[in-house]
Amino acid sequence: MPLVLAFLLAVAATWQPAVSAALPPALAPVGLGDAGAEAAEAEFVRGCCARTLYPRLCCAGLAPYAASVHSSHARLALASANITLAALDALAARIPSPNNSNSSASSGALSDCAEVVASAVDQAARAAERLAGVERAVGLEVLWRVDDALTWLSAAMTNEDTCADGLWPRKSAPAPVRAELRARVRRAKQYTSIALALVNMLLSNPRS
């Protein structure tokens, strides 16, 4: 009997409970700190901009909006449309009045450019308005808003092209004015191209 008791005590001293196969779930990763969140938001902007024709310009223009975008394709597209609108507004403000021109050729070119740029401003504003409602939209309204924004931005680019074509002849405007306007039209077209690319991304990421 003492031998049996000793044996049982020895077994009890060395026994360990079996580990259950159903382990408790691992703890969720700790949320990103401020620095980590900022890095993730900046990387999101860089990643999206890399898919445009002008990634450097895209990053330079949209990087200040990274924190408010919060890795949202809808917010990024809206910010890009607003940058396009600002570029067009700045262009419109720099087109001289045709009355100040010294020739009828310059007067006609500047008048035509002012007219089509004004239309482009309105079209970019309409695109931004459509994009502003994407996050709150549901169902087919999302696609309608995205498609409408693409239509308005495409129309704006067409008007930008028209202005650029009108400024091609050397007599279209005095040399310094012509050089500045052509540079501003080119920059507005680049921003419009970026906005179109980012809005197109909404077709595959409409609610993110």
Domain residue ranges of the chain, discontinuous segments joined by +: 55-63+70-208
pLDDT given for residue 35 in this prediction: 74
> Closest Cα partner for 198 from 135, 142, 166, 153?
153
Q: Please list, in sequence order, all residues whose beta carbon lies within 8 angstroms of the beta carbon of residue 63, skipping any fewer than 6 positions away.
A: 42, 45
What pLDDT does residue 1 have?
46
For 100-123, b where at least 16 C-beta lie within 10 A, e where not — what string?
Answer: ebeeeebbebbbbbbebbebbbbb
pLDDT over threshold 60, residue 28: no
Q: What angle (nearest 5°) sits at the alpha carbon of residue 199, between those of residues 194 and 201?
A: 100
**Banded model confidence at residue 145, pLDDT cuts 50, 70, 90:** very high
145 with 134: CB under 8 angstroms?
Answer: yes
Q: Is 76 exposed, middle or buried (0-12, 13-18, 19+ CB in 10 A)?
A: buried
Class of domain 55-63+70-208: mainly alpha
HEC per residue, 156-187: HHHHHHHHHHHCCCHHHCCHHHHHHHHHHHHH
CA distance 62 to 58: 6
Q: How far apart are CA 92 and CA 86, in angstroms?
A: 10
- Give the confidence band of 17 by pLDDT, cuts at 50, 70, 90: very low
pLDDT tens track for 173-204:
889 999 999 999 999 999 999 999 999 999 88
Asked whether the predicted pLDDT for residue 132 surpasses 80, the reply is yes
Give 151 or 205, the one with higher predicted confidence: 151
pLDDT band at residue 6, thresholds of 50, 70 and 90? very low
Most confident of 9-13, 68-72, 78-82: 78-82
| Residue given tokens 């021109």 in the structure block | 101
pLDDT digits (tens, 9 = 90+) for 156-177: 999 999 999 999 998 888 899 9
> What separation in angstroms does the CA of 57 have from each of 31, 39, 54, 91, 194?
31, 19, 6, 17, 9
| pTM of the complete model beyond 0.75 | yes
Distance CA 57, CA 63 (A): 10
Greater model confidence, 106 or 29:
106
